[in-house]
Structure 1
Amino acid sequence: MDDRTLHEHLIGQQGSRAALNTPVLVLDIEALDRNIAYMAARAAERGVALRPHAKTHKSVDIARRQIEAGAVGLCCAKIGEAEVLADGGIAGLLITSPVTAPAAVARLATLAKRSPGLIAAIDNPRMVARLQAALAAEGAMLDVVIDIDPGIRRTGVASPEDAVALAEAIAGVASITLRGVQYYCGLQQHIENYAARRAAIIERTDYLRSVIAALTDKGYQPEIVTGSGTGTHHIDLELGVFTELQAGSYVFMDKQYLDCDLADGPASPFETSLAVDARVASANHSALVTIDAGFKSLSTDGGVAQVQRGAAPDTMFMFMGDEHAALIAPDIGLRLGPGDPVSLTVPHCDPTVNLYDFYHVVKGDTLVAMWPVSARGRAR
C-alpha cells in the first residue's frame, strides 16, 4: 500500500502519530515554521534577501511557507527540481548547478518562458552559444549568475580572469542577462568549531571580493551575490558581502548541523523538525534491539542517526543492512520490546528526504497533513 492509503484516514485523529506504519518520514510543523521565521528574520535584519535551497526539502508545500515568510524565491539543484516547483506556482527560482546536457538546455529554455524570475548558474563560456540557440528556438530570455569555484573544484570559474571572460561572453548575447555571481563554500559548512569555521569563511570571502572587484573593474558589477548556507549564514551576514542567502537545511536540522556551533553559542538557533519514526523489530538481547529502519530509510553519507525519543539520546546506532539498524545500550533489550516506537534524527536531511514519497506532518503527536516530496528523484 502507498502512504496515502495507509495513513490519510489518520489525519486529525488525536495521537495518530503512534499509528503510523514505519519507517516513516515525520515533520513537526510548529518547529518547521519557527525555523522558517527565524532565518527570515535574521536575513531581514541585515537587509539581505533569502532564497532558500529547495534541494533540502524538495517540497512545494514547504517552499510556499518560505515565500509567505518573505523569501524572494527558491534555489534548486537541478532543472528537474525547478520544473516541479514552477508547476507548483513558485517563482524566483535559481538553478544552482550549471545546466549543460543538450536535452536539459532545451528544457531550461522552455522553463524560462513560463517561470517568472528564473535564474541559472553558468561557469563556462562554451555554454553561452548553446544557451543562446536554445533560447532563440523558444523565443525566451534568461537571467544568469556566474558560478565561482570556492576551492572545491566541483563547479565554478577557476579565477577572477575566467569570471571576466565569461561575463564578456554573456554581454554579447541579447537573450542572456548577467545578474551577478554565485559562491557556495560547501566544504566549510560543517566545520564544527565556530571560530575555525569563521576563519575559513573570512579567507574564502576575501577571494570572493577579489572576483567581484575584477568584474566591477570591467563594468560587470554584480547586482546579486548569492550563496551561503546553514552552517555559515551567521558569519556571512556579519561579513556583509552576500546580497542573498541560499541556506536550506535550517528548516530541518540534521545531525551534521546539530554537531556544529552555528551561532557562536551553546544552543542552536534552530530546532530539529524532521524525524524518521521506526519501531523495534526484534529485542532478544539485553544490550541490543533491532529497529525497522536501515540503509533504505536513512542516508549513510553523514554518519549515523541519533535517537530523538524512545530511548536515551546517547544510545549507539549501527546500521545492520538495507532494512534494519541496531540500537545498543545497557539493558535496552529489557526496556524496549517488539513494536515499541523510536524516533531518529537523520544524519543528512537532503538524501534522507529523497528516500520518501511523503512528509507526515504532525502537530504534537497528531497527524495533521501529508505533503508529497514533490521533487523526489528529480535529479535530471
Structure 2
Amino acid sequence: MTARPGIPGRIEERDAVKIDNGVVDALAEESLGPHHKSVPPAAWGRTAGEYLASAPELAQWQTPLLTLDRGRLDANRALMAQWSAAAGVALAPHGKTTMAPQLWREQLDAGSWAITLATAWQAQLARSFGVGRIMLANTLVDPVGLAWVAAESARDAGFEFFCWADSVATVELMDKILRDTPSSPPVRVLVELGGPHGRTGARTRAEARAVAAALQASERLELAGVAGYEGALAHDRSTEGLAAVRSYLVELAALHRELTYPGPAVVTAGGSAYPELVVAELAALADDTTTVVLRSGAYLIHDDGFYAGISPLAAPAVEPGLRAAMHGWARVVSRPEPELALLDGGKRDFPFDEGLPVPQLVVGSGTTLPPTATVTALNDQHTFLRLPGAAATDLPVGSIVRLGLSHPCTAFDKWRLIPVLDSADATDPRVVDLIRTYF
C-alpha cells in the first residue's frame, strides 16, 4: 500500500516534525513583571533573555515557587526517547501536561513523532508555535474548533491532525458540522475504544467497528486508526489493575486487526503509568502501514508522588531511571504550635490531587527532614507541615523548605513562568532558563 502524503507510515521512514524556532525563541524577548508569580522585582521590566544573562540565583526569588531541574529534564527526555525507540514505538508526548512550547521543542528535537493535546484551543496554540503534527486525544465536536481544523488543513497541506470518535452519533455530528465548512482534506479520525468503568471510548469492539464503518462512509472524515487510554482502567500496580490494563490493550490490538484502512494507520495508547504493557501488547502491530504511538505526558517532569510509585521506568527501580524534575519551595511564616509549621505556599501554588507535597530538606542548612515530617493539609496559600518530636526544633520562622510534588499536570497550570535551575540539589542553585506556560 502506498502512503498518502501527510499520513505516517513506517516509523523509520517518518520525517521529523518540528516547531517554529523563531516563534519559540521570541519568548526570550517577553518582559518580566509582577504578573509573573514570585519573579523578583529586580527583574521587572527586563526581558527574559536579559535577566538570564545576569546569571541569577534561586535565592533572589520570592516564595512560594515552583522550579524545574535542567539536568533531570535532560535525563528524563533522553531516557524516554531511547526507551521508546528501542521498543519500536513512536512517542507523541501529551503537551497538555506542561503547555510549554519550549519544552515541546526539546521533545520534538529529541525525535518525538508529534505533540498530543486535549482541546481544540490547545491545538490552536500549538499550531501558532508551528507544531506540524498534532494528536488530539479527544473527540472534537465543537463547531468552531472543527471548522478551524478544516481551514488549517486546507491552508497548509503539510499540517497533520488526528482526533478521536467513540460513537456513530459522534461521527454523524462531525460530518454534519463539516458540511458547512469550505472544501478541505478529510479530517483524520481514530476510533476510540474504552473499557468498563473507564472514561470515554466505545465499550465493545462491535460498537467500535460500527464507528469505523461510519467513518468509512463519510466523505469529510477518514478512518486513520484506533486509540485509547488504558490509564483510566487502573490506578495502581495491583494484580487486578495490571490485568485490567493488559486485557484492554489486547482488545485494542484486536480491534486494529479487524479494521481496514484507506491508508497507513495509527495505533495509540497512553503510556505514562503502564508503558511496558502498552509496548508488550501493541508494539508488534508496527509495520509498513502502521505506526504505534505512545502518548506519555508525565515522563519529562515525572514526580515524587504518584508517578514515582507507579511508573516502571522510575528511579531507583531502574537506573538511571526517571527522576522528579520539579520541586516546590515554601517559607515558614508561622510556628503557632511546637510541632506545627505553616508555609507560605498552598493549593494555588502546588498540586494536591494525587497526593500532598512531601517535605524534603531545609534550604541553606542542607538538613534532610525525617519521614515523620509530613504535610497534612493545604489551604489556598498555606501548607500545614507537622513536625513530631526532634524534627520540630530546627525550623524557625523564615526557613525555606524544598518540597517534593506529585502530578505535573496540576503543578504547571498554576504558574505562568517557571525558573529552571542548574540543579535543585546544588547548595546555591542558579536559574538557567525560564519556561513560559499557557493555561
| TM score, norm. by length of structure 1 | 0.89
Q: How does 1:273-284 map onto structure 2 within 5 Å?
A: 273-284=325-336
Contact 1:36–1:251 under 8 Å retained in 2: yes
Contact 2:356–2:406 under 8 Å retained in 1: yes
1:198 is displaced (CA, Å) by 3.7
RMSD (Å), alpha carbons = 2.5
Q: Distance in 2 between matches of 1:248 and 1:320?
A: 26
Query: 2:160 aligns to what?
Result: 117
Amino acid at match of 2:199: R
Query: 1:345 aligns to what?
Result: 404
Contact 1:105–1:130 under 8 Å retained in 2: no
Rate the CA distance shift 1:156–1:95 in 2: closer, same or farther, 3 A. Answer: same
Query: 1:215 aligns to what?
Result: 259
User: Quick one: which of 102, 112, 120 aligns to 2:143?
Assistant: 102
Query: 2:69 aligns to what?
Result: 28
1:135 is displaced (CA, Å) by 3.9
Q: How does 1:286-305 map onto structure 2 within 5 Å?
A: 286-305=338-357
Query: 1:230 aligns to what?
Result: 272
Per-residue Cα deviation, 1:135-172 (whole angstroms, up to 9, x for no partner): 45132222111111133442111211111111111112
Task: Tell me whether 1:174 sits opposite 2:214 in the alignment.
Answer: no
User: Quick one: which of 128, 131, 139 aligns to 2:174?
Assistant: 131
Amino acid at match of 2:369: A
1:14 is displaced (CA, Å) by 5.2
Q: How does 1:1-380 map onto structure 2 within 5 Å?
A: 1-3=34-36, 6=41, 7=43, 8=48, 11-12=52-53, 16-113=57-154, 116-136=159-179, 137-141=181-185, 142-188=187-233, 190-193=235-238, 197-216=241-260, 223-241=265-283, 243-254=292-303, 255-260=305-310, 262-263=312-313, 267-268=317-318, 269-310=321-362, 311-312=368-369, 314=371, 315-329=373-387, 330-364=389-423, 365-374=429-438, 376=439
1:208 is displaced (CA, Å) by 1.9
Per-residue Cα deviation, 1:248-276 (whole angstroms, up to 9, x for no partner): 11111121111225159952520100112
SS at match of 1:97: strand
Larger radius of gyration: 2
Q: Distance in 2 between matches of 1:10 and 1:312?
A: 33
Rate the CA distance shift 1:140–1:307 in 2: closer, same or farther, 3 A. Answer: farther
Amino acid at match of 1:229: G
Contact 1:230–1:250 under 8 Å retained in 2: yes
Could you tell me the percent identity over the aligned residues? Answer: 23
Q: Distance in 2 between matches of 1:14 and 1:342?
A: 23
| TM score, norm. by length of structure 2 | 0.78
Amino acid at match of 2:219: A
Q: Distance in 2 between matches of 1:17 and 1:189?
A: 39
Q: Distance in 2 between matches of 1:32 and 1:261?
A: 16
Deviates more, 1:119-128 or 1:357-366: 119-128
Amino acid at match of 2:343: I
SS at match of 1:138: coil
The size of the alignment, in residue pairs, is 372
Deviates more, 1:125-134 or 1:348-357: 125-134
Which aligned runs of 4 or more in structure 1 are off by greater than 6 angstroms?
A: 219-222
SS at match of 1:118: strand
SS at match of 1:168: helix
Q: Distance in 2 between matches of 1:42 and 1:187?
A: 23
1:200 is displaced (CA, Å) by 3.1
